[in-house]
Each structure stands twice: as C-alpha cells, then as structure tokens.
Amino acid sequence: MTTGLGAVFRPQLPPERLREVARLADATGLEELWLWEDCFREGGLSTAAAALAWTERVRIGVGLLPVPLRNVAITAMEVASLHRMFPGRPIVGVGHGVQDWMGQVGARVESPVTLLREHLLALRTLLRGERITTEGRYVKLDDVALDWPPADPAPPVLAGATGPRSLRLAGEAADGTILTASTPPEGVRRARQLIDEGRESAGRTEPHKVVVYLLTATGPGAAARLRAELDAEGDASVPDLGVAGDAGAVAKAVQRLADAGADTVVLQPTGDEPDPEGFVRFAAEEVRPLVP
C-alpha cells in the first residue's frame, strides 16, 4: 500500500499567502495540503474552502478543528457543504483544542474527552444524513438533520489525539486519527495499539487511517532550524523525532513512520521556513518519488 504524503501550510504565514502555495501544491502533484485552525490565526474551514476553490485535484486537510469552539450542527453543515462542492477532496479532523486557548475564549470544558466523544458521534451521524436527538453533557440536539448531507458514503471524520484515553476514543468514535509532530515511530506503534483497543471495544472493523505530522527542515541551516524548534517545543530529547536534510533523508524518516503504522505522513516545515513554496515543491517533486 502506498504511503500518502502531504505538506502543511503553517498558520504562522498570513492567509493571503495560501493561494500561491495551494496552487503550487496542485500543479506539482502533491497529494494533500494541510491547514491548521490555531488560535488566533486563520479559520480552518474558511481557508479550506478557499484552497479547494483555487485548486482542481489536491486534497485539503484541516487538522484540526477545536470542538469547544463549535456547535456540532455548524460543524456538520460546513463540512457537508465542502464535501458537496468538492467531492472527495476535503479531509477534516476535530480535537480537544489547546486548553489554554480554549480558556482564553471562555470555551474550556471540564471533560474534553466527553465533549470530543459526543461531538464525534453526533457529527458522524449528521454526515451520514441521519436525524439525531441527543441530550449529552455538552452536545444537545433536538430532531436535527442536514438538508444537504454529503453524498453516500459519508466522508470520514478524523480525530486529533495524543493521550491514551483520546487515542482509544479515536478508535471507538472516529474514522481516522491525526498524530502531532511530537510522535516518533515508537509513539505511532503505541498509538496504533490504543486505537485498535478502542476499535475492538466498539466492534469496528473498517480501515482506520492514521495521519502523522513530521517536522521537516531542508536547505541551508536545516539542522539548526530543526533543533531550535524541537528545543522550543521541549522535544529535543525525544529520539527519532523530526528530520533535517535532503530528500533521501526525509524519505527515510517518512518510511520509518509508515513502517510503524502511519498511512499518511504530512511534512511540517519549521515555523521559520524561509521558502514555503519551495518546501511544497520539495515535498512533491523530490521526496514523493522516493516514498513507496
């Protein structure tokens, strides 16, 4: 099975840069371009809609939408609209969000895992075109259904997860999992085990896609930029985390993650990447041919 490959448009870049990067991703044959909804930068679904409209074939991922900020009916309406307008091309993930950011906007909840579970179950139900009434701790819907659900089959919903409870929940209630760039190959193996425990508990047997970000630096000063970002994130002591070097070195790092259980690896440039367009071209034209 071919390992998927993508790249991230980091929200440290202003949104007006997205059009050129998205069109370049499309033109060079990159499979996936991923966007983030980091507070307080670009909106995830607004930028995804623009990127999809500006392109013809590249898949656009949003990894991820923080569920405390969103009523699940609004999430379902917007995700369904994207899938009807651009069939097969959007990829949407949801997650807890950064708790400090959620606190800043008055959206922090006592049990993020409970909220994510309720949001996932309701969102997937609505995207299947079904009607739902639920009175959860956080998600409350009274006889709600979408007038314009996506075409059958319903699009997959991914969940961002890090801790054991969230990873088991992703296996139980999501269709795929997004792992951060702080996840080395051994972490991917462990995540797969926890996801499978959740899938088994829910009696789920369908495929479960795992997407992993890989912090990647190339070109002049690559090693120093990678080391600085790992230091800033507190990840410098984690073995096999991130990669700096040419296409061959990056492809080997991608393969290590794939061997550990990743279906798609998304190259995440450092926050100070000097050439975002060149990074996308590097991923598509130099790394992709080396990844089986």
pLDDT reported for residue 27: 98
Q: Which of 62, 64, 59 is nearest to 4 (CA)?
A: 59
What pLDDT does 195 receive?
Answer: 98
pTM above 0.95, yes or no: yes
- Kindly state the percentage of the chain with pLDDT values over 90: 98
CA pair distance 280, 223, nearest whole angstrom: 19
Q: Going by C-beta distance under 8 Å and a sequence separation of 6 or more, which residues neighbour residue 240?
A: 184, 185, 186, 256
pLDDT digits (tens, 9 = 90+) for 33-61: 999 999 999 999 999 999 999 999 999 99
- Residues 74 and 123: beta-carbon distance below 8 Å: no
- As a whole number, the mean pLDDT across the chain is 97
What pLDDT, on a 0 to 100 scale, did the predictor assign at position 15?
A: 97
How do residues 54-109 score in pLDDT, each as one tens digit? 999 999 999 999 999 999 999 999 999 999 999 999 999 999 999 999 999 999 99
Per-residue pLDDT for 225 more than 90?
A: yes
Position 243 scores a pLDDT of 98
Confidence of residue 217 (pLDDT cuts 50, 70, 90): very high
Q: What is the pLDDT of residue 219?
A: 94
φ/ψ of 272, rounded to 5, equals -105, 25
pLDDT band at 21 (very low <50, low <70, confident <90, very high): very high
Task: State the sign of the Cα–Cα–Cα–Cα dihedral 95, 97, 103, 107.
Answer: negative
| Structure-token pair, residue 124 | 């997937």
Residue-level pLDDT at 67: 97
By CB neighbour count within 10 A (0-12 exposed, 13-18 middle, 19+ buried), where does 43 fall?
Answer: middle
Q: How far apart are CA 24 and CA 21, in angstroms?
A: 5
| CA atoms 140, 142, 148, 152: torsion sign | positive
pLDDT at residue number 291: 97
pLDDT in tens, 131-176: 999 999 999 999 999 999 999 899 999 999 999 999 999 999 999 9
Q: Does the structure show a pLDDT above 90 at 206?
A: yes
For 185, residues 6+ apart whose C-beta sits below 8 A from its C-beta are 240, 256, 257, 259, 260
How confident is residue 214, by pLDDT bands cut at 50, 70 and 90? very high
Sequence-distant (6+) residues with CB within 8 A of 61 are 6, 32, 33, 34, 35, 90, 91, 92, 93, 211, 266
pLDDT at position 275, please?
97
For residue 1, what pLDDT is reported? 79
